[in-house]
Amino acid sequence: MGKIQIVRREQPKTKPDPEKLGFGQYFTDHMLVMDYSAETGWREPEIVPYGPISLDPSAMVLHYGQEVFEGMKAYTLEDGRIALFRPDMNMKRMNQSCERLSIPPFDPETVLEGIVELVSLDRDWIPDGDDTSLYIRPFIIATEPCLGVRAAKEYKLIVILSPVGSYYPEGIHPVSIYVEDQFVRAVRGGTGAAKTSGNYAAGIKAQETAKEQGFSQVLWLDGVEKKYIEEVGSMNVFFKIGGEVVTPALSGSILAGITRDSVITMLRSWGLTVTERKISVEELFEAARKGLLEEAFGTGTAAVISPIGTMKWEQEQITIAGGNTGEYAKKLYDTITGIQKGLLEDRFGWMKEIQE
Ligand SMILES: *Cc1c(COP(=O)(O)O)cnc(C)c1O
């Protein structure tokens, strides 16, 4: 620590009202920037005041979308210490996304050290209220000014920080889902397994249509047969059917969520059987008709656990767990957020503490 060059903001910004943080609306005083060029490779990261960046209008990211990103969180623990949740997994996944997008890989330790230094510098911005955290958004964009369609020779890695409030202002509550049978998010061989902006751009229309019809998210089916369940919104998805927990196997078009991995580990440690396999929407609805579908929930860094209360597919609508938060969804939410807040023992070694 301490070897990263820091240019401090002269006047710290006014901090937002901790009761009205929302998600991703406020940004801290500083950001981490690291440049790449084909001649020099990745240079040393620097911390500079948060602010607009200058980009050539021909910057390749603006035309062909060569971009990857991550989403992770820092927490103030009960005793005032600060910690990140499984940040090594985010660094690893970001490099895997880079590989898919033909972006040169970076040294994960260098970037993680930079993130730790940045979070430490802006630590006064980490909210300490219930269910609040500091959301960390690393991303890489192709900055080379050129309209040729090929891998860029210049990139910028940036890390910005945003204090975020509870994802559920009224506490964890079930959402209604619409099974999307027209649009698809990703196909095998595409970029679904990478965290890249294009996947999100392609999903917005379905999301908007679902909202217009009164649903909060879409359930994505596979892009080939439109038969098998892949993800829910931008979360991974789990179902508890007849006592067994089932989640779609990582098929190549599904994002390997870190929350997904944590949930599988946690459920297995409680003695539940968790199976990663293909599951069709027909099988799911058939289980619901027979009264075997006990729970359904999404998993992701932003909401942690998002219970699914109702699901509509073609003309049929099912209610899950009586429209309430299921037993395991609640238990997972309480346990994972408890570990993240330092209230429960970190028995899997997931928290990385930040030393002052
Ligand atoms: C980020 C993301 C997830 C969740 O991943 P976590 O590591 O658990 O936050 C799931 N699906 C998609 C498409 C994502 O982009």
Q: What is the pLDDT of residues 154-198, one digit of tens each?
A: 999 999 999 999 777 677 889 999 999 999 999 989 999 999 999
**Residue 67 placed within a domain:** yes
Same structural domain for residues 215 and 141? Answer: no
The protein residue with its alpha carbon nearest to ligand 1, atom 5, reads: 257
Same structural domain for residues 241 and 324? Answer: yes
Task: Calculate how far, in angstroms, residue 220's C-alpha sits from the geometric centre of ligand 1.
Answer: 13
247 touches ligand 1 (CB under 6 Å): no
Looking up tokens 């985010």, which residue turns up? 90
29 touches ligand 1 (CB under 6 Å): no
pLDDT score of 298: 98
pLDDT tens digits for range 16-34: 998 899 999 999 999 999 9
- CATH (domain of 225): 3.20.10.10
Is the pLDDT confidence value at 278 over 80?
yes
Query: Using a CB cutoff of 8 Å and minimum separation of 24, what contacts does 312-317 make?
Result: 312/176, 312/177, 312/178, 312/179, 312/215, 313/179, 313/181, 313/219, 313/281, 313/285, 314/179, 314/181, 316/285
Same structural domain for residues 88 and 224? Answer: no
pLDDT score of 172: 82
Same structural domain for residues 217 and 267? Answer: yes
pLDDT score of 245: 98
**Residue 354 placed within a domain:** no
Query: In the structure, what pLDDT confidence band is assigned to residue 130 with cuts at 50, 70 and 90?
Result: confident
17-21, 282-286, 335-339: the lowest-pLDDT one: 17-21
Task: Calculate how far, in angstroms, residue 134's C-alpha sits from the geometric centre of ligand 1.
Answer: 17
State which ligand 1 atom lies nearest to the alpha carbon of 262: 8
Same structural domain for residues 14 and 151? Answer: yes
Same structural domain for residues 104 and 216? Answer: no
Amino acid at 317: Q
- Rounded distance between C-alpha atoms, residue 120 and residue 111, angstroms: 14
- Rounded distance between C-alpha atoms, residue 222 and residue 309, angstroms: 22
Query: In the structure, what pLDDT confidence band is assigned to residue 92 with cuts at 50, 70 and 90?
Result: very high
Query: In the structure, what pLDDT confidence band is assigned to residue 2 with cuts at 50, 70 and 90?
Result: low
Domain closes at, from 133, 164, 195? 164
Same structural domain for residues 37 and 92? Answer: yes
Percent residues over pLDDT 70 in the chain = 99
Number of domains in the chain: 2
**Residue 239 placed within a domain:** yes
Supply the pTM of this predicted model. 0.96
The candidate with the shortest Cα–Cα distance to 140, out of 175, 95, 182, 75, is 95
Tokens at 71, concatenated: 């989403």
pLDDT tens digits for range 99-120: 999 999 999 999 999 999 999 9
- Rounded distance between C-alpha atoms, residue 338 and residue 334, angstroms: 6
Domain closes at, from 137, 164, 191? 164
Query: Using a CB cutoff of 8 Å and minimum separation of 24, what contacts does 89-97 make?
Result: 89/258, 89/261, 90/138, 90/258, 93/195, 93/256, 93/258, 94/68, 94/69, 94/70, 94/138, 94/140, 94/195, 96/193, 96/194, 97/68, 97/69, 97/194, 97/195, 97/196
Domain that holds residue 110: 5-164
- Report the length, in residues, of the chain: 356
**Residue 169 placed within a domain:** no
CA atoms within 13 A on the CB side of 317: 8
pLDDT tens digits for range 312-328: 999 999 999 999 999 99
Tokens at 129, concatenated: 């209220």
Kindly state the greatest CA–CA separation across the chain.
Answer: 64
pLDDT score of 167: 76
Same structural domain for residues 69 and 188? Answer: no
Tokens at 48, concatenated: 């500079």
The protein residue with its alpha carbon nearest to ligand 1, atom 10, reads: 235
Average pLDDT, the chain: 95
**Residue 116 placed within a domain:** yes
State which ligand 1 atom lies nearest to the alpha carbon of 258: 7
**Residue 349 placed within a domain:** no
